Amino acid sequence: MCYHHIVIATDLSDDGKRLVEKGALLAEALQAKLSLIYVDVHYDTYHAAIGFSERSDNGVPFEEKIRKELEPTTQNVNYPIAEVIIGRGGFVDELRTAVVDKNIDLLVFGHHHDLWSNLFSSTRNAINQLNIDVLVIPIRS
């Protein structure tokens, strides 16, 4: 098994900390580049077309706001995070673009074991549509 660029798909929840820590351990063991990706799925082409701002409610640029909110997720990681990739729009579309543009060869996802996640899993959707190796880490509530 030889991966060169591992990317962890994360959100802004506390569950992301454990996911990032596990992904960092794997990247360290493989001496791979480690990155994070966050996708704002609530911002789509419709919002862009009607001119929604790239700024948050308090005037801070969106990407800066997300990077700040991800800081607690990464503060206990003892492996360098090369890049935080931030996308806006369709989850799978943004992942597909990042995989190609950033030469990603392993995506790490978390998966909750609850009814909602089993019915509407963005992870399952990505697995079915992306042509890349995927590691799914269970997240227990």
Percent of the chain with pLDDT over 90: 46
Q: What is the mean pLDDT of the chain?
A: 84
Whether residue 51 lies inside any domain: the answer is yes
pLDDT of the residue at 52: 54
pLDDT tens per residue across span 46-83? 555 555 555 455 677 888 889 999 998 888 899 999 99
> Considering the domain boundaries, does residue 63 fall inside one?
yes
Residue 121 structure tokens: 């899993």
Residue-level pLDDT at 120: 57
* DSSP strand pairing (5-9 vs 106-112): parallel
Averaged over 4-26, what is the pLDDT?
91
Asked whether residue 107 is domain-assigned, the answer is no
- Expressed as residue numbers, the domain containing 86 is 5-102+112-139
Return the CATH number at 116: 3.40.50.620
Give the number of domains in the chain.
1
How many helices and strands (H and E) does the chain possess? 6, 5
Task: Say which amino acid occupies 56.
Answer: S
Please report, to the nearest 10 degrees, the dihedral formed by the alpha carbons of residues 27, 101, 126, 8 taken in order.
30
